[in-house]
Each structure stands twice: as C-alpha cells, then as structure tokens.
Amino acid sequence: MSKLYSGAEIVFKCLEDQGVDFIFGYPGGAVLPIYDELKNHKNIKHILARHEQGAGHAAEGYARSSGKPGVVLVTSGPGATNVVTALTDAYMDSVPLVCISGQVPTHLIGTDAFQECDTTGITRPCTKHNWLVKDVKDLAKTIHKAFEVATTGRPGPVLVDIPKDIQFNKYSYSKPKKQKKLNGKTNISFSQKEIEDLIKLIYKSKKPIIYSGGGVINSGIEASQLLRELVEATGFPITSTLQGLGAYPGEDNQFLGMLGMHGTYEANNAMYECDLMINVGARFDDRITGKIDEFSPKSKKVHIDIDPSSINKNVKVDLAIVGDVASVLKNTIKTLKKNNSNFSKSNKANISKWWEKIQKWRSVNSLGYVNSSESIKPQYAVQRLYELTKNKDTFITTEVGQHQMWAAQHYKFDKPNRWMTSGGLGTMGYGLPAAVGVQIANPNKLVIDIAGEASVLMTMQEMSTAVQYSLPIKIFILNNEYMGMVRQWQELLHDKNYSESYTAALPDFVKLAEAYGCVGLRAKTPEELDDKIIEMINTDRPVIFDCLVDKVENCYPMIPSGKPHNQMLLGPKDQEENKITGKGKILV
Amino acid sequence: MSKARSAYSISNKKEKFDTHIIVVWVDNEAGVLARIAGLFSGRGYNIESLAVAEVDKKLNISRITIVTTGTPQVINQIRLQLKKLVPVHNVADFKREDKMVIFKEMALLKIVGKNGKRDRALKACKKFNPVILDKTNKSYVIQITALRREIDKMIINLKKFGLVSVSRTGAVAMTRGSEIFK
C-alpha cells in the first residue's frame, strides 16, 4: 500500500507537481487544514491579500505577466463569493486561474450551514469548469485536471471546491498523467489548404490589414515573434485590440495603433475600407466592431482563433483557421516564403496606394490634444510617464475608465505580457491587485498601475499587501475627482446631467499612502510632473502618486455607440456637431 | 425606440428561425444538466424540450436530447458552445425536417368517463401506438408515442372524451438505417 496523505497534503503535492511557486489567498474556517499544511511546503509561498477579489486579480496579474497559471486559495461562503468578480474577469479575458475554495464538510452541504454557499453553482457560468470534490480519492486527479483545463485551449479560470472533511481524509497521492487529449478540445488542427487559401487572399489583396488580439499574447512569446515576422514578410499594416497591445511594437511604422471605440482614426478607417482583414487571435468584440451591420463592409475576413466558438459568433468570416496562433502563423510564414521569398518587396507596389491613404488618415493625428501650461492634461501625464520609463522593462496595469484608454493610446508597448488590463469585464479595481501579482512574478522590474481615483479606491486595501511583501508597485492616479468615463458618457448622452459621477470627500492620497506605510507623491502642475515621476521611479518602495489632472478632459477619438468605424468623433468640436440620438442612446 | 439586443445590436435583418434537435453525450456526473441548461439560459438560447437519461452505465454516459429554435448562426453557436463544456463528449445537430432522423415524444393520458367515451378516446389514439397501462371501470391511463404537434393536437381532441391529466416527455431522436451518430 502506498503512503497515505491527508487531503490538505494532497493539495500541496499537486501544486508542487504543477510547478506552483505562489498562491494568492485569504484564510477562513473551511480551508484551515490547507493553511495548516502550508508550513511544510517552503517552496510554495502564500501571498496574503486583503480581500478575496484582490487575491483573484493578483493571481490574474501574476498569470498574465508570467505565462503561468495563477493560483487562488479562498474559504467557503463569502470567500468564494468575493472571488467571483476575479473569476469572471479572468473568464472574459482568457486568463488561466486555478481557484481552490474550502467548503463546509460534506455532511453539512445543503443544510445552510455557517459560511456555506453553493460555490460550484455560483461559479459555473464564470469558469471553464468547476468541481466539488466529494471523495478524497478523486482529489489529486481533480486538481491535476483543473490545471489542464485552465491552461489548455483558450485559457481560463477553473475552481475546485473542497469540503473540510475531505481535507482531513487520507488517501494515496497520484502524480499528473502525461497530457492527453481533452475531449478533442486541445486537439485542434487546421489544414494546409486553409493556409494556402489565406496566402491566396494575401496575394490578391490591395488594401489589407492585420488585426491582432489577446490570443497572440496567450499563445506565448513565440507567437508575438511570429506576428512580427508576418508583418515584415507581408508589408501589411497592423492594428491591435486593447488586449493585444505589446504583441507588436507600438512605435513601429507599420503599427496603426489600437482600434475600436477609442482607437486611432487610421486604424478604424483602415478597418472600414480594407479589402482583406486578417484577425489573429481576437474575437470581434463589440468595442471593436462598432455597428455590426456596417462593420468593414468591403472586406474578405479571415479569423485565426483557438476557440471554435469564436468563429462566426459576432461577425461572419470568409475563412476560419482554428488553431493555436503560433502554429498557424508559423505555417503561414513558411508557406508564404516558400512560394515567394521576397513577397513584401514584390508586393510593395500593389499596396502602395493603400499605404498612402493610411498616411493621410495618420496625418489627422487623432491622438492629439490641446496641451496646457497650467493644468496637467491626463494624456500628457501618460506620455511623460512613458518617456521616462520606456528605457526600463516596465509592466503596466490599469483600472477601468478614461485613464485606461489614455494609457492604451499613449503608452507604447514593445513586448508582450507587459500590459495587464481588464478588457472584457471592465472591472474597476483590477489594476492595483494585478500590479501586486505582476510584481511578485517580476521582482526586480518596474510595475506601474495607471489608475483613476475612483477605480483605485475599490481595492485600495491591497496597498497593505504590497507593503507586507515589500512590493515596490507604483500607483499612478490620474485624479480628476470624477468617474471620468461615466461623466464623458453623461456629457455625450444625458445633457451633462452628471448624476452621481463626482466623488466628493476623496481621501488625501498622500496621507493615505503614508498611513499604509508607503510613499505618497503629488503633482499639481506640468512643470513639476517630470521631477515627481522620476522621484517615483527612484523610490524603492510602494508609491501612491496623486497626479491632479484637468477635471473635464474627455477621451478622444471615439466611435460613438451605434456608429460604424468611419464615423468617429475626433474631439469636443465634433461632438457638438454629431449628437447621439434615438437608437444610439440605449447602447452601452 | 427599438429594443437593443446587445451592446451594438447584432443585426437589424430578420433572420429565419429553424427548429433543431441537438443530441449531446455527456459524462453522467453531478451538475452536468445545470451546466447545459445554464449555457442555454445564460446565452439567451431557447429550450423547447429536453430529455435526459443514462444510456451507458459502464462508461457513465448520458444522452441529452434538446429541441431548440434559432437562426442558423445561433444554432451553430449552441453546437460549438456545448462542445466546449468539459463533460461533453459529442454533439449532433439535426433540423426537424431531416428525413433521416426519427423524433418521438411520449405522453401518458388519463381519461375518466363512461366506457363508450373512453373507448372512443382510445380509438382516436390509434395512430400513435396506444397502450393501456391502467384500467378501472371509470378510467384509462393510455400511453402514446408521437411527434410534438401530434400530441398537442391529441390533447385538444381528447378533452371531449374525458381527458383529465397529461404527462409528457421531451423528444428523443435516432437516425434511420444502420448509421449511428457517433
């Protein structure tokens, strides 16, 4: 008979065999046996968050910046319900998370016991899969499977609910089996014919565009490299979704900037006018497409995605290639080069008119803004932050709102996994705990959360975590005292009735920083901004930077709701002339 | 003002709704039905009827037959989303008009009344393989198997012959000939 281990020991043996170094969590009654076992496993470090949502987002930040799955450990009842936001966020943005939750002992399940909730029921729609382990015999197998499901195919969160008695019960341990096919879910293969079809479309196109997304990042560093090769080999322009930023260098001349609701004029117009759209690992999200009936009306659309259900979900495509981005790109480049080793040169004339057109759109300078010498413009703050940090390997997280869009527009990324933002779910309060996780995964790197003052207050308690583990994260708050994006929409749609979007009684962020035991800095004028940013960078402790910015600045350019790509608002003047009426008003 | 269906309203064009029968093979484990039903309700798909039972004890496999309606795009999404679920092994999808597939529903009908009336009720059921499962001098319980709309009609017809209670199943499906789904 092989050696017997308690359920709690089995949990750690599984984590060790899965290569887990860090778990993010918060203890409670129903996970005490697991927490008790922690002391015997020195190679796994537990990071104590201040709220389970914070633990979840920290694990997301860890996963997105390291490429490894994030592990979360929470207790039953409120522990589990608190982590639901983070699980949903991870589900929307395809982040691999393994959440282990405690549950009341099996004989109490269904009795409305203290801190009992139907965890698997609640998390069913926000995980790829979840399990309630009712027998310690199934525990090891289930946890190994959980890691497999979270990390294969399109990644995502999973949850394993372990009743307290199972944590005490004893059984032998079984190691993970070699990766097998998962109901055919990872065994997705595309055909060479599809690649050939894509090459044919590439040859024919006079107005091509590559539109890349988070799938490139999820596919691994190699995929970003291959994307760069493809762009170079074709000479095509490329635009990226919010989640895809960093897969292609932001300062490269072939890069048109981000597309979508707050994307650049050139990217959106190129999407509208193109005759070939190659979607690489993106999902035709509504923030990208705008009005779907008028989305890129003249183009052949190619969609490369690992998730078959993404194909034809929102937009019908002409050619679907289901597979891992890296392997599809590898094949495409190989085939392209085999047929014509110098395609980008020979094809230059073919698309030169298209590039001229793009340059014209570019000359509009849609990211431009009127700078001021009195107040700090938020765009200017992000630009200065970029200029002063671009020579370091900097990791940026954000909260959600105007500051997030300004960060996406004005901070240029040239490497994948450096940009962590809540895109799908749009979770305010994501950035600070995510920065904690990013810093854990990248101990000696500069990690900055570009934040809004409203968002950051939602998870401010995690500063305490940063201080406890000496994580020198920088919280760069663009403070305009408004929920800026809410105010912008109220301006746009509700006749400037700023209902509840102003935060009165904000805390003094400098004093708050000191109260947490970190460093508080404040910049009020453009002159002092650079010095203060440099001071922040040079501080080897967590910093809250209160950057007082223009209170009424809005985020442009913008595709108003219900409008197609070619009807963008470029600035405040445009807005006056293009009032959103009727149908557009009810869309979000 | 028209109703917005999503953030950017998928399409203003009215597409045709088809009725499809979707057959799903799943691991027979706790919560699997909730996963399937939750997928349908969460994404706004219809379920017209649902039939579930274990079909392979050894492999622990259940077969779920779902009747649903939707545009071709929605039906395609249903199929692909179902396939993504971990306990789902296989998904098959048929149009209701498909001649190669047999669909059947079962109903139990309780008829209460005088002898003559009850026999007329039984006669009316003749086309649908009636079986008398229970008989007293006041009542019959009749089992019939038929298509959904045929049963719908029978229920209306049999009211006058003393139909007092109906219990019916969702549709089950099987291909004709020697072919099997898997």
Q: What is the DSSP string of A222-279?
A: HHHHHHHHHHHHH---EEE-TTTTTSS-TT-TTEEEE-STT--HHHHHHHHH-SEEEE
Q: Which of B28, B169, B29, B31 is nearest to B103 (CA)?
A: B169
Separation in Å, CA of A424 to nearest CA in chain B? 13
Q: Among all residues of chain A, which has the CA nearest to that of B84? A: A185
- Residues of chain B contacting A125 with CB distance shorter than 8 Å: 38, 42
Give the integer Cα–Cα distance in Å for B64 and B50: 7
Helix (H, G, I), strand (E, B) or coil at A418: coil
**Residues A429 and A458: beta-carbon distance below 8 Å:** yes
DSSP 8-state assignment for residue A303:
E
Chain B residues whose CB is inside 8 A of the A562 CB are 8-9
Name the one residue in this structure whose structure tokens are 């393989």.
B129
Decide if B8 and A290 are in contact by the 8 Å CB cutoff.
yes
CA dist., res. A395 & res. A474, Å (int) = 10
Polymer length in residues for chain A: 588
Residue A231 · residue A258 · CB < 8 Å: no
| Nearest chain A Cα distance for residue B46, angstroms | 17
* 8 A C-beta contact, residue A155 and residue A185: no
**Residues of chain A found within 8 Å of residue B9, distances taken between Cβ atoms:** 291-292, 562, 583, 587
Cα–Cα distance for residue pair A128/A145, rounded to 1 Å: 12
Q: Which residue type is seen at A366?
A: S
Provide DSSP, A193-233. Answer: HHHHHHHHHHHH-SSEEEEE-HHHHHT-HHHHHHHHHHHHH
CA distance B76 to B78: 5
Separation of alpha carbons A137 and A82, rounded Å: 29
Is residue B147 within 8 Å of B103, Cβ to Cβ? yes
Whether the per-residue pLDDT at B171 is higher than 70: the answer is yes
Residue of A183, A287, A305, A306 to mutate for B, most B C-beta atoms under 10 A: A183
Task: Provide the 8-state DSSP code for A461.
Answer: G
> CB-CB: which of A287, A292, A583 is closest to B11?
A292
Both tokens assigned to A587: 């869309």
Chain B residue closest to A120 (CA)? B31
CA A368 from centre of chain:
25
How many angstroms separate the Cα of A427 from the Cα of each of A54, A86, A90, A420?
12, 8, 10, 12
Separation between Cα atoms, residue A147 and residue A130, nearest integer Å: 11
Q: Which of A458, A463, A485, A536 is catalytic?
A: A485
Residue among A125, A149, A314 minimizing CB distance to B38: A125
Choose the closest CB to B6 out of A124, A286, A307. Answer: A286
Q: Verify whether the Cβ–Cβ distance A124 to B34 is below 8 Å.
A: yes
Residues B74 and B22: their CA atoms lie apart, in Å, by 13
Q: Please choose, from the candidates B139, B140, B35, B155, the residue with its C-alpha nearest in 3D space to the C-alpha of residue B105.
A: B155
Q: Of the residues A22, A24, A37, A52, which is catalytic?
A: A52
Distance CA A89, CA A92 (A): 5
Cβ of A292 and B77 within 8 Å? no
Task: Give the nearest partner residue to B84 out of A120, A132, A309, using CB atoms.
Answer: A309
What residue of B is the nearest CA neighbor of A313? B77
Determine the 3-state secondary structure of A159 from DSSP. strand
Residues of chain A in Cβ contact (below 8 Å) with chain B: 120-121, 124-125, 128-129, 132, 149, 182-183, 185, 286-287, 289-293, 307-309, 311-314, 316, 561-562, 582-583, 585-588
Beta sheet of A97-103, edge-to-edge order: A45-48, A22-25, A70-74, A97-103, A157-163, A129-132
Cα(A586)–Cα(A576) distance, rounded to whole angstroms? 19
C-alpha distances (whole Å) from A266 to each of A209, A386, A413 are 11, 22, 18
**B8 in A contact zone (CB under 8 Å):** yes
A52 is catalytic: yes
Are B1 and A289 within 8 A, CB to CB?
no
CA-to-CA dists, residue A456 to A200, A397, A464, A478, A507, angstroms:
49, 12, 13, 10, 12
Taking CB atoms and an 8 Å cutoff, what residues of chain B touch A185?
Answer: 83-84, 86
Spatial distance between the Cα atoms of A328 and A306, rounded to a whole number of angstroms: 10
Could you give the 3-state DSSP secondary structure of residue A125?
helix
Residue B96 CB neighbour total at 10 angstroms: 17
CA distance A556 to A405: 9
pLDDT at A588: 64
DSSP string spanning B57-126?
Answer: TTTTEEEEEEEEEE-HHHHHHHHHHHHHSTTEEEEEEEETT-TTEEEEEEEEEEEES-HHHHHHHHHHTG
Q: What is the pLDDT of residue A340?
A: 86
Interface test with A, best of B1, B5, B6, B8 (most A CBs within 10 A): B8
A115 is catalytic: yes
Cα–Cα dist A499/A493, whole Å? 12
Give me the interface pTM, i.e. the ipTM.
Answer: 0.90
CA distance A216 to A227: 8
pLDDT in tens, chain A (588 residues): 689 999 999 999 999 999 999 999 999 999 999 999 999 999 999 999 999 999 999 999 999 999 999 999 999 999 999 999 999 999 999 999 999 999 999 999 999 999 999 999 999 999 999 999 999 999 999 999 999 999 999 999 999 999 999 999 999 999 998 765 544 445 567 999 999 999 999 999 999 999 999 999 999 999 999 999 999 999 999 999 999 999 999 999 999 999 999 999 999 999 999 999 999 999 999 999 988 889 999 999 999 999 999 999 999 999 999 999 999 999 999 999 998 888 989 999 999 999 999 999 999 999 999 999 999 999 999 999 999 999 999 999 999 999 999 999 999 999 999 999 999 999 999 999 999 999 999 999 999 999 999 999 999 999 999 999 999 999 999 999 999 999 999 998 899 999 999 999 999 999 999 999 999 999 999 999 999 999 999 999 999 999 999 999 999 999 987 889 999 999 887 776 666 656 666 666
Longest dimension (CA), chain A: 80
Which residues in chain B (15-34) have CB-CB distances under 8 A to chain A? 30-31, 34
Spatial separation of the C-alpha atoms in residues A524 and A529, rounded to whole Å: 8
> Would an 8 Å CB–CB cutoff place B88 in contact with chain A?
yes
> Quick check: B8 and A311 CB within 8 A?
no
Is A164 an annotated catalytic residue?
yes
